[in-house]
């Protein structure tokens, strides 16, 4: 036998051999061993035990939140009229406040004050009604250091404030300008009047200036009403802080015009 046919014996060489009987010592008694069923029995090791994870405890369902009940006095506009409220009461829609003829009265006041300012300005600019025009107003303000400038500024402010008041447009600002110019004219006629600051001896010209100034102040606090361009604005229905601010600014502007335009301290 050559060396090329020689090889080592492996376990595969015994696969086709019949089972080797095992003798137990008794005559005629043989026992064929039963091969192990799996790898753990063959190796003599314990099979691993499969451990299943414990099922997680389901989280408790969150309790339903109680229905929100509004406190006493809390608005319930989110409920439509006719729906039942949280306490079973029926929601009743409140009617809008009835203004009656208030808006019409405010329209008349705006037209009267604004119309007077417009006519007075046009009389100066175009010399209407026997007016001497801007030259005549310059002569009236001749005693003031800035009389020529005031003769143009005053009717210009009157015209702008009057147009905006009649239209009901930007009423707080228009009333502010009206307060400034009518306040200046009031101080002018009082200073030029022989009666001075004594209201019991004022003539009609002084009282007219007083009423125009007062009407401008009233419009600042009442608003223009609903018959105007500003009908959708909040100040057309119920002016609040803006009225106080614009009123204070208007009076202050009148004082500034008088102080710097005439050189006379209004507080002296």
User: Cα 184 from chain centroid?
Assistant: 37
Whole-angstrom Cα Rg for the chain: 52
Per-residue confidence (pLDDT) for residue 263, from 0 to 100: 83
**pLDDT in the model for residue 89:** 47
Do 162 and 121 contact (CB within 8 A), yes or no? Answer: yes
Indicate whether 79 pLDDT > 50.
no
Statement: residue 69 has pLDDT above 60: no
Q: What is the pLDDT of residue 160?
A: 96
pLDDT of res. 157: 96
Residue 229 has pLDDT above 50, yes or no: yes
Average pLDDT over residues 187-209: 89
Q: Kindly report, residue by residue over 232-255, the tens digit of the pLDDT.
A: 887 777 777 888 999 999 999 999
Residue 129's pLDDT band (cuts 50, 70, 90) = confident
Give the mean pLDDT of the chain: 78
* CA angle 176–110–107, rounded 5-degree value: 135
The domain limits of the chain are 102-262
* Of 155-159, 163-167, 195-199, the least confident: 195-199
How high is the pLDDT of residue 193? 87
Angle, in degrees to the nearest 10, between helices 102-126 and 133-140: 90
Give whichever of 70-74, 75-79, 96-100 has the largest mean pLDDT. Answer: 96-100
Write down the pLDDT at residue 5: 60
Unique residue bearing structure tokens 């037209």:
111
Determine what percent of the chain is predicted with pLDDT higher than 90.
Answer: 37
pLDDT given for residue 58 in this prediction: 67
State how far the Cα of 100 lies from the Cα of 88, in Å rounded to an integer: 35
Which distant-in-sequence residues (6+ apart) come within 8 Å of 188 by Cβ? 141, 258, 262
Task: Return the SS3 of 90.
Answer: strand
d(CA 239, CA 218): 12
Question: For residue 1, is pLDDT > 50?
Answer: no
156 within 8 A of 176, measured Cβ to Cβ: no
Helix axes 147-167, 133-140, angle to 10 degrees: 120
Asked whether the predicted pLDDT for residue 152 surpasses 90, the reply is yes
């Amino acid at each position: 036998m050559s060396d090329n046919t020689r090889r080592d014996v492996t376990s595969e060489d015994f696969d086709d051999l019949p089972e080797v009987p095992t003798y137990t010592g008794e005559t005629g008694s043989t026992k064929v061993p039963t091969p192990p069923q799996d790898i753990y029995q063959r190796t003599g090791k314990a099979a691993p035990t499969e451990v299943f994870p414990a099922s997680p405890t389901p989280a408790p369902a969150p309790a339903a939140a109680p229905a929100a009940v509004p406190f006493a006095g809390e608005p319930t506009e989110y409920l439509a009229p006719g729906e039942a409220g949280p306490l079973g009461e029926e929601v009743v829609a409140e009617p809008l406040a009835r203004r009656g003829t208030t808006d019409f009265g405010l329209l008349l006041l705006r037209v009267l004050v604004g119309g007077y300012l417009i006519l007075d300005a046009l009389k100066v600019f175009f010399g209407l009604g026997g007016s001497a025009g801007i030259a005549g107003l310059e002569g009236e303000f001749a005693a003031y250091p800035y009389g020529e400038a005031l003769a143009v500024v005053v009717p210009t402010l009157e015209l702008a404030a009057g147009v905006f008041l009649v239209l009901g447009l930007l009423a707080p600002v228009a009333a502010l300008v009206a307060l400034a110019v009518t306040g200046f004219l009031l101080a002018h006629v009082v200073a030029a009047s022989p009666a001075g600051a004594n209201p019991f001896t004022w003539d009609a010209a002084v009282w007219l200036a007083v009423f125009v100034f007062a009407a401008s102040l009233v419009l600042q606090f009442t608003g223009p009403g609903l018959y105007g361009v500003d009908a959708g604005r909040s100040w057309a229905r119920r002016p609040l802080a803006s009225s106080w601010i614009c009123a204070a600014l208007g009076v202050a502007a009148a004082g500034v015009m008088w102080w710097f335009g005439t050189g006379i301290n209004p507080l002296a």
